[in-house]
């Protein structure tokens, strides 16, 4: 049980009001409709850039699923799986059918081969030239 020592029951002051702004208080400023819309659009652009910057669609040459891929270097590849691709991947299906959990698999070897092929064919950069999401 929490026990407060001292006079904590003094309710003879108002909460959230201060001189100059009677009856209204908020942590964030209130913007006009034009400014609020501009902020929403800028936030959406930032979100899209952060989530999709440099991603290229790559099809698996074995089971024909399509995923978004970004190579960040020779040893680092970012793969964005969608629900349909994860469900249709033949390697992941094999794992599920044997009672395993595909989320624990490091990657699909067939898709890894397809990504290497996309780099060799020039469809995917070996190191993405897209700006980092935080670079403005």
What value does the mean pLDDT take over residues 4-30?
58
The alpha-helical segments, DSSP class H, found in 98-135 are: 109-120
For residue 83, what pLDDT band results from cuts at 50, 70 and 90?
very high
The Cα–Cα gap between 82 and 87 comes to 9
What value does the mean pLDDT take over residues 3-12?
56
What value does the mean pLDDT take over residues 28-56?
86
pTM value is 0.65
Residue labelled with tokens 């994860």 = 86
For the chain, domain boundaries = 54-120
For residue 38, what pLDDT band results from cuts at 50, 70 and 90?
very high
* pLDDT for residue 54 is more than 90: no
34 phi and psi angles, rounded to 5 deg: -65, -45
High-pLDDT (> 70) share of the chain, %: 78
Please tell me what DSSP assigns to residue 103.
Answer: G
pLDDT of residue 31: 81
- Write out pLDDT tens, residues 87-125: 999 999 999 999 999 888 888 999 999 999 999 999 999
For residue 4, what pLDDT band results from cuts at 50, 70 and 90?
low
Residue labelled with tokens 């009001």 = 17
Closest CA to 91 of 80, 79, 104: 104
**Mean of pLDDT over the chain:** 83
């Amino acid at each position: 049980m929490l026990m407060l020592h001292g006079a904590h029951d003094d309710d003879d002051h108002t909460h959230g009001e201060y001189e100059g702004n009677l009856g209204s208080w908020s942590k964030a400023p209130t913007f006009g409709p034009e400014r609020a819309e501009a902020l929403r659009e800028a936030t959406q652009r930032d979100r899209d850039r952060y989530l999709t910057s440099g991603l290229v669609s790559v099809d698996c040459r074995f089971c024909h699923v399509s995923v978004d891929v970004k190579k960040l270097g020779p040893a680092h590849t970012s793969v964005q799986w969608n629900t349909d691709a994860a469900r249709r991947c033949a390697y992941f299906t094999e794992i599920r059918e044997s009672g395993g959990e595909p989320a624990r698999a490091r990657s699909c070897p067939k898709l890894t081969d397809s990504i290497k092929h996309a780099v060799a064919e020039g469809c995917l950069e070996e190191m993405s030239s897209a700006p980092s999401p935080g670079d403005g």
